[in-house]
């Protein structure tokens, strides 16, 4: 008698316990999430972040905290948690946040990596909702979420517009349809991605490593950025955190933006210059404004909204822009 065949499109059932165990183990790794948290000299903040990771409703999860250089206080705080899912890596020297994340990724047991900044924290359902939202047929999905952004000027729910599988990553990040920031947003602390993607394209050592990693991922076949609509993270903006629009050395920001040109569509490149890089710095000198505008026109394809945003940044004082934005969004919320 010939062996019984499995129904069409269903896998054959193995009677080999070793094979079954291997398949089960591989499946467990594929579904396990490792949370990577780099930190240094912020023991109280990182404890809050770690607790929010360990309290996730998604249970197939472990946490790797990378202490980026000698920091006995943080190590002592974390030792009090006593959770077997927590691994603490103490680096002998400071490597910087980007490489600390990469070290955590390389040591991860899970097939999926979720990044969390040490000064931020998550809602309990974040990872569960993100894992459930992974789209079929996309090899390297990067799943983000909306977050509560806490700033000195108030608290906002960003992004206002969500990314989907049909959006090119660079286009989503930089081609805004409105005048004000917060329309598009995908900070590192919200991201969940396959470990295989991060091994193939590690976090770069760059002045703007979070932006650059997403931009370069956009050039990897089978990669897509998507958002879940839920507010599942709390992200605190720091006054001393360097961003494209607040970088004190505008030449550094522009040199980096120009280095990204080949990774972006012409419209995204022009929008990066005019809307992201051409923010607070654009109003400083006529020479800076001309450099930004000239590069955008020469090497990109500016959208009308990008040009309008740049003009607003150049001519309208920061305080007036903020009051206008607050008035517009207050009216929108009231409607």
Lookup result for tokens 């000239």: 294
Among 237, 279, 241, which residue's Cα sits nearest to residue 257? 279
| Helical packing angle, 43-54 and 72-79, nearest 10° | 30
State the 10-residue block means of pLDDT for the chain, 335 residues long: 37 47 57 98 97 98 98 97 97 96 98 98 98 96 97 91 96 91 94 98 94 96 98 84 59 89 96 79 72 94 93 69 57 46
The closest of 215, 189, 207, 274 to 247, measured between CA atoms, is 207
pLDDT of residue 323: 61
In sequence order, which residues have a C-beta less than 8 Å from that of residue 157 and are 6 or more positions away?
146, 147, 148, 149, 231
Of 13, 198, 9, give the one whose Cα is nearest residue 108.
198
Q: What is the pLDDT of residue 324?
A: 58
Identify whether the C-beta of residue 111 lies closer than 8 Å to the C-beta of residue 32: yes
pLDDT value, residue 28? 64
Taken as a whole, the chain contains a residue count of 335
In order, the DSSP letters of 17-48 are HHHHHHHHHHHHHHH-EEEEEEESS-HHHHHH
Task: Give me the pLDDT at residue 247, please.
Answer: 58
Give the DSSP letter string of 149-168.
Answer: EEETTEEEEE-SS---TTS-
Answer whether 73's CB lies under 8 Å from 43's CB: yes
Strand (E) or helix (H) holding 259 = helix 250-259
Query: Buried (b) or exposed (e) across 222-243, using 16+ Cβ within 10 A?
Result: ebbbbbbeeebbbbbeeeeeeb
pLDDT of residue 23: 44
The per-residue pLDDT for 331 is: 47
């Amino acid at each position: 008698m010939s062996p019984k065949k499995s129904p069409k499109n269903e896998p054959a059932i193995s009677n080999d316990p070793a094979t079954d165990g291997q398949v089960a183990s591989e499946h467990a790794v594929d579904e396990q999430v490792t949370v990577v948290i780099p930190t240094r000299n912020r023991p109280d903040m990182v404890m809050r972040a770690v607790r929010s990771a360990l309290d996730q409703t998604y249970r197939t999860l472990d946490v790797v905290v990378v202490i980026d250089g000698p920091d006995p206080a943080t190590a002592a705080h974390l030792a009090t948690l006593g959770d077997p899912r927590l691994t603490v890596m103490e680096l002998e020297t400071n490597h910087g946040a980007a490489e600390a994340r990469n070290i955590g990724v390389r040591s991860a047991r899970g097939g999926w990596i979720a990044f969390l900044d040490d000064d931020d924290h998550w809602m309990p359902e974040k990872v569960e909702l993100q894992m459930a939202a992974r789209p079929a047929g996309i090899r390297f999905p990067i799943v983000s979420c909306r977050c509560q952004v806490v700033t000195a000027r108030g608290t906002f729910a960003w992004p206002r517009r969500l990314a989907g599988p049909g959006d090119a990553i660079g286009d989503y990040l930089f081609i805004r349809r409105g005048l004000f920031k917060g329309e598009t947003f995908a900070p590192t602390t919200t991201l969940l991605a396959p470990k295989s993607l991060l091994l193939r394209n590690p976090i770069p050592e760059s002045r703007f490593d979070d932006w650059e990693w997403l931009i370069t991922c956009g050039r990897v076949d089978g990669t897509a950025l998507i958002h879940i609509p839920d507010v599942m993270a709390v992200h605190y903006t720091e006054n001393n955190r360097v961003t494209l629009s607040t970088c004190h050395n505008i030449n550094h920001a522009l040199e980096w933006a120009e280095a990204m040109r080949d990774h972006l569509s012409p419209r995204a490149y022009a929008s990066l210059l005019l809307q992201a890089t051409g923010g607070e710095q654009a109003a400083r000198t006529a020479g800076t404004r001309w450099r930004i505008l000239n590069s955008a026109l020469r090497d990109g394809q500016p959208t009308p909204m990008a040009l309008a945003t740049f003009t607003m940044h150049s001519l309208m004082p920061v305080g007036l822009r903020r009051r206008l934005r607050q008035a517009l969004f207050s009216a929108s919320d009231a409607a």
